[in-house]
Amino acid sequence: AQSVSQHNHHVILSEAASLELGCNYSYGGTVNLFWYVQYPGQHLQLLLKYFSGDPLVKGIKGFEAEFIKSKFSFNLRKPSVQWSDTAEYFCAAGINTDKLIFGTGTRLQVFP
């Protein structure tokens, strides 16, 4: 079955540390990939997306993600996190249909 896996369930970092959140999908065909962020008490917001072209995608607030087709991965990165990045991060894939398949999310806590 098609699925999206986020192996890091809870990540704790200090400010200025670098961040990488893993995302893997299981599907051999064309996929569109997304990262959504949910700040405490707020709704899910689109952080960045990949459809085609340059596999390195830049999003808002200094985030970027790299699509590596051979690894079925779309990891999210940020060189230096801030306290305001504390949130839950969801990877999602649009696979073959109009449906988004979400991962279970990674809770990021950043301490000053």
Q: Give the binding site for another protein (CB under 8 A).
A: 4, 9, 32, 34, 36, 41-46, 49, 51, 90, 94, 98-105
Residue 9 or 69: the one with the smaller Cβ distance to another protein is 9
Residue 8 or 17: the one with the smaller Cβ distance to another protein is 8
Q: How far is the CB of 38 from another protein (least distance, A)?
A: 8
Q: In whole angstroms, what is the distance from residue 108 CA to residue 86 CA?
A: 5
Q: How far is the CB of 18 from another protein (least distance, A)?
A: 26
Residue 4 or 87: the one with the smaller Cβ distance to another protein is 4
Q: How far is the CB of 64 from another protein (least distance, A)?
A: 17
Q: How far is the CB of 80 from another protein (least distance, A)?
A: 26
Per-residue burial over 80-104, b = 16 or more CB atoms within 10 Å of its CB, e = otherwise = ebeeebbbbbbbbbbbeeeeebebe
> Which one, of 25, 28, 31, lies nearest residue 6 by Cα?
25
Could you give the angle at the alpha carbon of 35 between the alpha carbons of 99 and 18, nearest 5°?
160
